[in-house]
A and B are shown apart, each in its own frame.
Chain A
Amino acid sequence: MSLDFQIFCKSTYAEEFSPRCFGEYFQFGHPGNDPTYLDWLLRAWGWTVSVSLLALLIALVIGISIGTLRTLSRDSLFNKFCILIANAWVELFRNIPVLVQVFLWYHVIPMMIPSLKSFPSFLLVSIALGFFTSARIAEQVKAGIFSLPKGQRFAAQSLGMNQVETYRFVLLPIAMRIVIPPLTSECMNIVKNSSVAFAVSISELTLFAMQTQEETSKGIEMYLAVTALYILTAFSINRIMALIENKTRIPGFISGKSPS
């Protein structure tokens, strides 16, 4: 099997080599070059990263909020109502396959809410992916908070803290540190799950591979390049999360290794 990676320097306009590999974007004083498959690959990578990061932002904000709401103590009507809503959210979004959710956001919901029709599909996919992941993150945050001894909540209350202060200063700081490892997995999953965006015409890495292997009949090279970029992206996120875990560690607590 021989691999021909020079294909990436070919122009997407014609079956010719472009004078420069970065035809379109990095012209270095050679304007007017045709875009190459390398340009297209990088643009596709940009879409994958953009969809993943926006979805991750949505997932973290909603996931942490919903996860926290699920752990409220059932001592008032308001709390019970919040728990009900949060439980419903998690069950709704984790029981539907992610691809179906993407289709729902792209095809069905804009029919019901016409103002969504003007939304770019990039945003709709990010919402779908973000909501799906938020249900998973909510479960992890809930598990993190429940893993704390009950006495912590009581101690905070006996100090005169109200509900918001209890979470803000006592429960969440430790619980969030505990759930960093499963959150790392979720953050990496979101990059991998972003490949479903091809189904609604986002020209991200998966769509790039599917289209270019047909155009160039160099499927192996295209898929290898795409695989490498997925690994690079997911692994970068892994390293960033490891860094965060390391920097926020408190020696002596559950989440911190004993000082060495």
Chain B
Amino acid sequence: MNPYLIKSPMKNFKKLSPVALTLLLSWSFLSQANAAGTLEKISASKTITMGVRDSSGALSYTLGDGKYTGFHVEICKRVIVDLEKKLKTSIKTDYQVVTSQNRIPLVQNGTVDIECGSTTNNATRQKDVSFAVTTYVEEVRIAVKADSNITSIAQLANKKVATTTGTTSVQLLRKNERANGINFEEIFGKDHADSFLLLESGRADAFVMDGSILAGNIANSKNPKDFKIVGEVLSVEPIAIMIRKDDPDFKNAVDTSIKAMMKDGTIAKMYKQWFMEPIPPKGNRVGLELSENTKNAWANPNDKPAEEYLKK
């Protein structure tokens, strides 16, 4: 046997960059995921991997110590109970923390079976992944200090408006700005906590962001009574549980379970529990009333992307 035939691939392997190695690994996961549907994979391994977020408001967050909870996480836990009944086996749940950047690749490559975070269902993402029926509709709103006299977008003229770098809420505001002929100054916080600090410290007069993020930040602030959410809804985005694309059996199982929760009012009770009542670990109250948009999504379960919502 020619020794060079064995040696040369090894030499090349050493030169493989970490990037290439990651690609190789994810490719092997991908092929594994494609081999069978998620349902078969779960019943064979008796485990399911749930994608969770560290801090996505009341939707999905950590209690520390590897424990995760939130409105979407609890919905997923119930879905898994239903899956156990359907597959007639007990299923062990593994948690995998995901971020905005890696959640879609991790669902695609099979690392995560069901992502229960705060992912917007939009047309671009539907090319890569699939979504369960919409369980929560996010509204982009304005948060101000309680003693502020701002009550609508029109009153933001010549004010300093905070928003978070890397989000697109401010674009909506600019469109409104042009439509109403008002002018305001944009200030970008580096993350949601930083943007909220801009509002809290008086460096900004308003903070424009998803309603649940605003409510969550207010609930966790030193003095939640100092802030209020005001004004018209700037935009709506359907938030849904994310699953792999082209797996109709699994989607059907998840959707059936969620639709049952919508029908018998379980989901409304859960909404009340997570958004209106004190939640662990600090016992804060988010205090975000159920919106008409979310109510409609529960009454007519659908997995329409955000673009469909904007058409109205």
Contact = CB atoms under 8 A, between A and B. Distances in A.
A14 interface: yes
* Contact-residue bracket for chain A: 10 to 19
B101 to A, nearest CB: 12
A74 to B, nearest CB: 45
Contact of A121 (B162, B167, B203): B203
Interface stretch (A75-83, A148-156, A197-205): A197-205
Interface in A13-53: 13-14, 34
A211 B165 contact: yes
Contacts of B187: 201, 203
Contacts of A85: none
Q: Is the interface of B mostly helix, strand, loop or mixed?
A: mixed
B174 A203 contact: no
B102 interface: no
B88 interface: no
A215 interface: yes
B203 A210 contact: no
Given A210-B166, A211-B166, A215-B168, A12 B174 contact: yes
A13 B168 contact: no
B156 interface: no
Contacts of B203: 121, 201
B186 interface: yes
A4 interface: no
Given A203-B188, A211-B188, A198 B175 contact: no
A54 interface: no
Interface in A70-118: 107, 117
B14 to A, nearest CB: 29
* Contact-residue bracket for chain B: 20 to 34
Contacts of B201: 117
A27 B187 CA distance: 25
Contacts of A13: 174-175, 177-178
Contacts of B175: 13-14
B198 interface: yes
A207 B168 contact: no
Contacts of B188: 198, 201, 203, 207, 211
A198 B190 contact: yes
Contact of A201 (B167, B170, B198): B198
Interface in B141-198: 162, 165-168, 170-171, 174-175, 177-178, 186-190, 194, 197-198
Nearest to A201: B187
Best-buried of A34, A210, A211 by chain B (most CB within 10 Å): A211
A13 B189 CA distance: 20
B92 to A, nearest CB: 37
A203 B168 contact: no
A193 B276 CA distance: 45
Nearest to A217: B124
B165 A210 contact: yes
A112 to B, nearest CB: 14
20 contacts: A13-B175, A107-B197, A198-B188, A198-B190, A199-B190, A201-B162, A201-B187, A201-B188, A201-B189, A201-B194, A203-B186, A207-B165, A207-B188, A210-B165, A211-B165, A211-B166, A214-B165, A214-B167, A215-B168, A215-B171
Given A13-B177, A14-B178, A121-B203, 12 more contacts: A13-B174, A13-B175, A198-B165, A198-B190, A199-B190, A201-B187, A201-B188, A201-B198, A207-B188, A211-B165, A214-B166, A215-B171
3 residue pairs, one from A and one from B, having the closest CB atoms: A13-B178, A214-B166, A201-B187
